[in-house]
Structure 1
Amino acid sequence: MDQTITANTSTDNVDPSKEFKVKAAFFLAGVSGISAVIGFGMTVASSKKQDPKYFNKGMMPTRELPESGANLAMRALGWGTLYAVTGCGILFYSIWKLSGAHNFVEFRHKMGSILPNVPRNNPPQGRTEFSGLNDLLDYLQHQKGSKDK
C-alpha cells in the first residue's frame, strides 16, 4: 500500500515572481538598514576617537550646554525625518493626482506616454564584457576618441 503525503503549503497560491519581489524587498531593506546602523556607529566611534573630551562633554547636559548633543541630534533626526517623509509624500501624491490616474497601471501608462522612451540596445552594439576596470576605462576612452574625429 503506497501512500503519498502531499503538504499543502501557503506558497501554492502565491505567484513566484511576487514571492521573489517580497524576498528582494526584505533583503534590500535589511541591507540598507544594517548599512545605515553600521555607518552611523562608525561615525560616532570616529568622532569619539578624535576628541573624547568634547564627545563626553556633549553627552550630559551642563550649565554651558543645557541640552546634550545626543538629545539635540535625536531631535534633529526626528524633525528631518518628518520633513523628508512629509515633503516626499506631498510631492508624490500631487504628481499622482495631477496625472488623473485611478490605479497604478493607469498611472504607469500615462507616465510612459509623457516621458521619453529609452531606446533598446538589443542586440548590443558595443562590447558588454570587460576583464576589469582598466579595460572598461580604455574602451570608453577609445570610444570617446573615435566620436570626436
Structure 2
Amino acid sequence: MDQNVINAESFEIKKSKYSKEFKVKAAIFLAGVSGISAIVGFGTTVASARKQDPKYFGRGMVATRELPETGASLALRALGWGTFYAFTGCGILFYSIWKLSGAKNMEEFRYKVGLALPKIPKNNPPQGRTEFSGLNDLLDYLQHNGATKER
C-alpha cells in the first residue's frame, strides 16, 4: 500500500516518553531563561543609550512642554500596539491555514501537512565534502565546485 494514500484515521499517536511533570518543569525553565535574557538585553540597551547621550536620555524621562509624552510611555504604547498587531495577524494567518486544510484536530492537521510537504530522504550519503578546515576552505570549495555541479 502506498504511504501517501493512508487514511487520516489509520495513524496512531505515539505516547510521549516524558512525564507531564518533566514537561511543566522544562517549560518553566525555558520561560525563565528567556525572560531573564530579555530583561538583561533590554537593560543593556537602555544603559548603552544612557551612556551615549545622557542629556537627551534624561529629557525623555519626564514629560515637558516640548515633549508632552515621556519616552517610556511612548515605548510602552508602541510595544502594546505592536504586540496586538503581531498576535492578531499571526492568529488570523494560522487559523486560516487550519481552516483551509480541513483538519478537525491537531493530529489530523499534522498528518495533512506532512503529506503536503516534500519527504526528506533518510539514509542518503552526502554527495560531496562535508568536513572543512575553516571558512576559507568552505568558500574555496563552493567557488570551484559550485560552477561545475549541474543544477
After TM superposition, the score normalised by the length of structure 1 is: 0.72
Question: 1:126: how far off?
Answer: 2.1
Q: What is the Cα-based RMSD across aligned positions, in Å?
A: 2.8
Where does the alignment leave 5 or more consecutive residues of structure 1 unmatched? 1-13
Which of 53, 76, 79 is the aligned partner of 2:78?
Answer: 76
Alpha-carbon separation, structure 2, partners of 1:85 and 1:92: 10
Counterparts of residues 1-149 of structure 1 (less than 5 Å): 15-16=17-18, 28-120=30-122, 122-147=124-149
- Cα-to-partner distance string for 1:58-96 (whole Å, 9 max, x where unaligned): 001112111100011011101111110111111101111
After TM superposition, the score normalised by the length of structure 2 is: 0.71
> Which residue identity lines up with residue 87 of structure 2 in the other structure?
V
Question: 1:107: how far off?
Answer: 0.9
> Which residue identity lines up with residue 38 of structure 2 in the other structure?
A
Question: 1:28: how far off?
Answer: 5.0
Question: 1:110: how far off?
Answer: 1.4
More RCO (CA 8 Å, sep 6+): 2
Q: 1:120 and 1:140, CA in 2 relative to 1: closer, same or farther beyond 3 A?
A: farther
Greater displacement, 61-70 / 104-113: 104-113
Alpha-carbon separation, structure 2, partners of 1:130 and 1:24: 36
Which secondary structure state, in structure 1, belongs to the residue aligned with residue 56 of structure 2? helix
Task: Flag as ranges the 4+ runs of structure 1 deviating above 4 A.
Answer: 17-31
Instruction: Number of aligned residue pairs: give it.
Output: 135
Where does the alignment leave 5 or more consecutive residues of structure 2 unmatched? 1-15
> Which residue identity lines up with residue 66 of structure 1 in the other structure?
P
Query: Kindly, what percent of the aligned residue pairs are identical?
Result: 76
Alpha-carbon separation, structure 1, partners of 2:18 and 2:44: 38
Q: 1:36 and 1:97, CA in 2 relative to 1: closer, same or farther beyond 3 A?
A: same
